[in-house]
Structure formats: structure tokens, C-alpha cells
Amino acid sequence: MSLAPRVVVVHRRTELAELLARHGTRGQAEFFLRTRGRSLEEAERRAAVQEAALAAVGAAIPADWRRGAVERADLDRFLFAPGDLVVVVGQDGLVANVAKYLDGQPVLGFDPEPDRNPGLLVPLAVADASTLLAAVAAGRAEVEERVMVEAATDDGQTLLA
């Protein structure tokens, strides 16, 4: 008996969550944003959009598939399996960051805010998640290969993009 495929959903904490972690209260976060010409309502709206996108993508995963989830901050400690399907919900930079930790696993990139982000590496609409994951499940999905670039600095550091 073989295991069902595993989908690993990758996302990053919302700006709202980061603000609340840094400033402790909504009032302090609101003050911080207001001093920079921004509003807490904007951060709350964007957090709600991100949460709705994660819920929609999660609901689109076939019920009999295994699931995993990881935040961007934990990528360096997460073990991706060779047969994983990686689903990124976020911006292009998150896909590039995730790719550093993969070894040939396919990635589906969903953009929760397509009107705000260019979506070069996350071109997929959240509304299409059910259709796309069904195509993957049926083996009908097209794969577009991407190339990783590695650069080495004079001081021995290695950078991947």
C-alpha cells in the first residue's frame, strides 16, 4: 500500500501578525502605522485576504491526501520529502526562497493579492486552486521548469536565486 501524496502549504506570517508580535497590542501597532502614514485597517484587510487564500487552497486539497504546512521562518528546519507537492501562498519572493530547500519537487504558486503583486513566480489565482489540484491529482498538470542560479562570493558564501 502506497501513501497518498503529501501537499506542503508554505506561507509567511502576515504583516499584522508581525506587527502584533513586535508591538504587543493592537493600539501600539496602530500608533506605529499611523506615524508612518498607514492604517491598521489596511494590515487587517491584507491579513484577512491571506487567511481566506490559505483556507481556499486548503479546501482545494483532495481529502485523501496528506498535508503539511510551514511558515517561511521555519523553512530551514523543515524536511521536504521527494514526492511532496509544494503549494506556496504568497509573493514571488516566497517561491524563490522555498526553491532553495527543494530538490525537484513541483511547486504551485498562488497569489492571494494578484492586483498588488506582479505574480511572475506565483501566477495562479486562488480561485483556480480546486481545478489545478484536481489536474495534479489526475496527472494532467503541465510542468514548467525553472532554473536556480548559484553565486559564490569572495568570502565563501553561497547565494541561490
Give the CATH number for residue 133.
3.40.50.10330
Pairing of β 6-11 and β 85-89: parallel
Q: How many CA atoms lie within 13 A of 146 on its CB side?
A: 20
State the pLDDT confidence band at 1, using cuts at 50, 70 and 90: low
Q: 30 lies in a domain?
A: no
Please check whether residue 21 lies inside any domain of the structure.
no
Number of neighbouring beta carbons within 10 Å of residue 68? 16
Q: Would residue 89 count as lying in a domain?
A: yes
- The predicted-structure confidence for 66-107, as pLDDT tens digits, reads as follows 999 999 999 999 999 998 999 999 888 888 889 889 988 888
Cα 114 to Cα 83, 96, 138, 152: the distances in Å are: 29, 17, 27, 33
Confirm whether 19 is domain-assigned.
no
Report the sign of the C-alpha dihedral through residues 71, 72, 73, 76, in that order: positive
Q: Tell me the per-residue pLDDT of 48-66, one tens digit each, with 9 for 90 and over.
A: 999 999 999 999 998 989 9
What predicted TM-score, i.e. pTM, was given to this entire model?
A: 0.83
Better-scored residue on pLDDT, 141 or 157: 157
- Cβ atoms of residues 110 and 125 within 8 Å: yes
More confident: 146 or 30: 30
User: Which residue segment(s) compose the domain that 145 sits in?
Assistant: 6-13+62-160
